Copies of this chain bind each other. A is one copy, B any other.
Amino acid sequence: MRQPVLLDRCTRLLNHGPTVLVSAQSQDRRNVMAAAWSMPLDFTPPKIAVVLDKSTHTRTLIEAEGTFVLNVPTIALAALTHRVGNTSGRDIDKFAEHDLASEPGPVTGAPLVAGCVAWLECRRLPEPHIEKTYDLFLGEVVAAWADDRVFRDGRWHFAGADDSLRTIHHVAGGHFLTIGDAVRYEQDDENP
């Protein structure tokens, strides 16, 4: 079930480096694309960075509307993630095309993609130089949500849940790795 995540903990939804779906809506046009290149940028207020190619329709919508969502998909959505990463939404509605449900983000109205396990609603922080030169977009996270089957108390809990809910991490050409389990190691007692 989708639950709110405290803003000062929301970077934890991206820290482990999942591939994301970027969604946006402007007036009656909406779109969703895949992005392997995103990361947190700051804790308070929380910020993120994401690379959006000039050719993408999602970028056009974000520039028009100023809001977007980073959605964190799962193994169950791997095929879809690959597919929406390889088609343009300029001429089609990818949500309808791929039978993809969504609902408006409570804070921004940008679409939250159903079946994902985390959602970060963002407002674009306009930085024209790096947007133009590097396709690099920055956003402030204004609301964050996660599926409490796998994210609770500020931590991911993949081990106890259905494996289809694990996040996916793109390598190349539709080849994804899944996230694994917690690393067990001895923490240094002298430096707690």
Which A residues fall within an 8 A CB radius of B? 9, 12, 15-18, 36-42, 47, 49, 51, 75, 78-79, 82-83, 86-87, 127, 129-130, 134-136, 138, 154-156, 158, 166, 168-172, 174-183, 185-188, 191
Contacts and interface: CB of A to CB of B under 8 A. Distances in A.
B169 A179 contact: yes
A49 B39 contact: yes
Contacts of A79: 185-188
14 contacts: A12-B172, A15-B37, A38-B39, A39-B51, A40-B51, A49-B49, A83-B191, A129-B129, A134-B138, A156-B171, A177-B179, A177-B182, A178-B182, A179-B180
Given A130-B130, A187-B82, A171 B16 contact: yes
A17 to B, nearest CB: 1
Given A17-B18, A191-B83, A134 B47 contact: yes
B134 A41 contact: yes
Contact of A15 (B129, B172, B180, B185): B172
Nearest to A77: B185
Contacts of A176: 182-183, 185
Contacts of A183: 75, 78, 168, 176-178
Contacts of A166: 180
A134 B40 CA distance: 11
A9 B175 CA distance: 14
